Amino acid sequence: MITRREFVATSATAAAGLAIGPSGAAAAPSPTSPVSRFARPCVVASSNGIRGVKVAYDQIVAGTDTLDAIIAGVNITELDPDDQSVGLGGLPNEEGVVQLDASCMHGPTKRAGAVGCIEDIATPSLVAKAVMDYTDHIMLVGDDARRFAISMGFTPQNLLTEKSRQDWLRWKARLNPNDFWLDHDDDVQIRFTTGTINMNAVNATGDISSVTTTSGMAWKVPGRVGDSPIVGAGQYCDNTVGAAGSTGRGESNIMTCGGFLCVEFMRQGLGPEQAVLKALERVVATTQARLMGSNGRPFVDLQFYAVSKDGRYAGGSLYEGPGFAVCDERGARIEPCVYLYRQNERPRRG
């Protein structure tokens, strides 16, 4: 145990670090697991993490801690104003406010951190890590998460870019034919949108970490928190087994505890590919009737990404189509997800 005085002193030092760079805390100890004979470094992510997996992999082989490396990987997209799925530029809720969720787990030290519904901070993944590093809690939400982040040295900023604001206005104008909003003169259809990055990594000594960050579902009800900040749903990591996380309809994943379930299937001996497919089958089994088409297939889609302690990996999707990002000794690339159903089996809502 450390005293409160020591804790405050450590936090103040680390806050200065957080303000200047994503590697953030120098405080967290990082004991490594016994060297596995079979470990091979590997980073796996949703396809929008393609730039990040390369950065994370390069850092991991250079000796950076797996969690610091994957957070550096997702920070690239969180800070990219042109990406509308996470962080700065993420699509807002129905009131035009960007509300972000994130969580992370550090396998070697068995710790987790999360923030839900945080506003004005572009890198919620780093705030989640700060919750993990500097508090005895796991999750902070809403305005208190924002105030915590500011106290840790993060700089608040307006996250709603002009592009995302225009998309929100288009969505609003087309929401109801009988409202008082005039249609935009362009004919761009704004569809319901999702977007998230989950990234998981293992290093040469078999240490594992996971992180998930998101602006959640576009146009969501204010205050809605998805699966991404839920430890065990949006991501999960067990240093003795592997890590997994998810993108897609968060509510379906929360009902399945999908990140945890994938890891548990790997613990039982399944490889990552079989584990994600079996978890997807559970998603279907737990889907409410109102979300199912008459052909017994869900209207919604969901993906899982998993890496095992020995460096095997997989991405899986309910429906054929999405690829996932991976980087290992063969470089960064997009590979196709394994899937349960073909696109032509996906029912359309009436």
Report the catalytic residues.
196
Stretch near ligand ASP under the rule CB under 6 A, chosen from 56-64, 135-143, 192-200, 287-295: 192-200
Cα gap 196→112, rounded to integer Å: 19
Which pair of structure tokens corresponds to residue 192? 């319901």
- Nearer to ligand ASP by C-beta: 207 or 251? 251
Selected binder of ligand ASP within 140, 201, 217, 306 (CB under 6 A): 217
Determine if 78 is a binding residue for ligand ASP (CB under 6 A).
no
Residue type, position 238, single letter: D
Cα gap 169→179, rounded to integer Å: 13
Stretch near ligand ASP under the rule CB under 6 A, chosen from 124-132, 141-149, 152-160, 242-250: 242-250
Residues 245-284, one symbol each (x = binds ligand ASP by CB under 6 A, - = not), give --xxxx----------------------------------
Q: Are 30 and 165 in contact (CB under 8 A)?
A: no
Determine if 226 is a binding residue for ligand ASP (CB under 6 A).
yes
Cα gap 54→333, rounded to integer Å: 9
Which of 242, 258, 260, 247 shows the shortest CA–CA distance to 307? Answer: 242
Determine if 301 is a binding residue for ligand ASP (CB under 6 A).
no
Determine if 194 is a binding residue for ligand ASP (CB under 6 A).
yes
Which residues, in sequence order, are CB contacts of 242 under 8 Å at separation 6+?
200, 202, 208, 262, 263, 266, 272, 306, 307, 308, 309
Sheet of strand 323-328: strand arrangement: 139-141, 111-118, 100-106, 208-214, 196-202, 42-46, 323-328, 331-336
Determine if 196 is a binding residue for ligand ASP (CB under 6 A).
yes
Nearest-approach distance from CB 246 to ligand ASP, in angstroms = 6
Stretch near ligand ASP under the rule CB under 6 A, chosen from 211-219, 285-293, 313-321, 327-335: 211-219
Q: Are 38 and 312 in contact (CB under 8 A)?
A: no
Selected binder of ligand ASP within 93, 125, 210, 228 (CB under 6 A): 228
Residues 151-190, one symbol each (x = binds ligand ASP by CB under 6 A, - = not), give ----------------------------------------
- Nearer to ligand ASP by C-beta: 15 or 100? 100
| SS3 category, 238 | strand
- Nearer to ligand ASP by C-beta: 45 or 217? 217
Nearest-approach distance from CB 287 to ligand ASP, in angstroms = 15
If you ran DSSP here, which 8-state letter would residue 221 be given?
P
| SS3 category, 53 | helix
Which of 231, 245, 232, 209 shows the shortest CA–CA distance to 103? Answer: 231
Interface residues with ligand ASP (CB under 6 A)?
194-196, 214, 216-217, 226-228, 247-250
